[in-house]
């Protein structure tokens, strides 16, 4: 398993390392915190820290730190510049960051504080938000003690620390641009349904919202189908100046030829009114 260029944002963790043994043991480590939002001024420096913890009680771990640009694309995939060379990056703060130390070894059960300094240029044009990522990578898996039967897969594991730097006046503005639906036939004339509310940022900072969905049948749906209810669809991040189609799988299969009303509510906090989108949709008889 290599580094995938198409992975969804999930607290911005990229897990690519696996260890197999007779007991299927995993060597765990964590980073905290994984997000910084820094209110800054042009021409000034800011120093912050995060910690890396080796949770293994048996093995030391070797780490290397990289700074890198990243985006969330229109399909809600988290992509790093290092693995996607053609990415167009706007509002990057990567060149502003210095990290220390950049390489270190952690004994079992130990933690390490990592410092990074943000040097904000004095000649920035306009206000708004800039971003970067600090990616902590486990570079190797140590050899097992002599006599222990264990199979290792040597791969890199990365955990991303996301850094937003906000300069001057913040102007959050986001719209619900579109509402799409797709279906995929399953067994017994039922369909898997995925809805895609499409959001677009017109502001100068990112927007982070909680998404909920309510669904209502507009036709008879049969006695064997559980009555649907409102459900939480997770957290959405829309970066400055971008558009995202946020995929939401409906948690029950829906019968062909049934008709529904889907209502998506997006709560982006006190600075932005809730966005509500409604879509009526009839499940097709055939794909």
Q: How many CA atoms lie within 13 A of 147 on its CB side?
A: 0
What pTM, to 2 d.p., does this model score?
0.82
pLDDT digits (tens, 9 = 90+) for 41-58: 999 999 999 999 999 988
What pLDDT does residue 269 have?
87
Check residue 91 and report its DSSP letter: S
What pLDDT does residue 229 have?
75
Distance CA(55)–CA(60), nearest Å, equals 10
Q: Is 232 helix (H, G, I), strand (E, B) or coil?
A: strand
Distance CA(193)–CA(107), nearest Å, equals 48
Which helix (H) or strand (E) covers residue 114, if one does? strand 111-119
Is the separation of the CB atoms in 253 and 191 below 8 Å?
yes
Check residue 121 and report its DSSP letter: -
What pLDDT does residue 24 have?
28
Of 149, 161, 159, 82, whose CA–CA distance to 118 is shortest?
161
Chain-centroid distance, C-alpha 51:
20
Strand pairing class (150-152; 128-141): unpaired
Only one residue has tokens 């990415």, namely: 87
Residues of the chain with pLDDT under 70: 1-27, 140-156, 222-228, 287
């Amino acid at each position: 398993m290599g580094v995938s260029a198409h992975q969804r944002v999930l607290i911005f963790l990229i897990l690519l390392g696996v260890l197999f043994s007779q007991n299927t043991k995993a060597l765990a480590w964590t980073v905290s915190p994984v997000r910084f939002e820094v209110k800054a001024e042009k021409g000034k420096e800011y120093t912050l820290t995060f910690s890396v913890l080796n949770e293994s009680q048996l093995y030391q771990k070797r780490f290397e730190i990289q700074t890198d640009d990243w985006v969330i694309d229109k399909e809600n995939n988290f992509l790093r510049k290092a693995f996607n060379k053609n990415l167009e990056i706007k509002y990057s703060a990567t060149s502003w960051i210095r990290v220390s130390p950049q390489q270190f070894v952690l004994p079992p059960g130990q933690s390490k504080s990592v410092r990074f300094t943000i040097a904000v240029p004095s000649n920035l044009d306009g206000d708004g938000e800039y971003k970067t990522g600090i990616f902590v990578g486990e570079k190797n898996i140590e050899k097992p003690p002599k006599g222990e039967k264990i199979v290792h897969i040597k791969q890199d594991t990365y955990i991303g620390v996301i850094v937003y730097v906000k300069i001057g006046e913040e102007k959050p503005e986001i719209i619900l641009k579109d509402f799409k639906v797709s279906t995929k036939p399953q067994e017994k004339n039922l369909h898997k349904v995925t809805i895609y509310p499409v959001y677009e940022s017109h502001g100068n900072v990112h927007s982070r919202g909680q998404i909920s969905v309510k669904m209502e049948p507009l036709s008879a749906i049969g006695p064997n189908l559980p009555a649907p209810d409102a459900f939480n669809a997770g957290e959405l991040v829309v970066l400055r100046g971008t558009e995202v189609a946020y995929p939401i799988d409906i948690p029950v299969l829906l019968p062909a030829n049934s008709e529904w009303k889907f209502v998506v509510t997006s709560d982006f906090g006190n600075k932005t009114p809730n966005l509500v989108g409604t879509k009526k949709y009839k499940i097709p008889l055939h794909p």
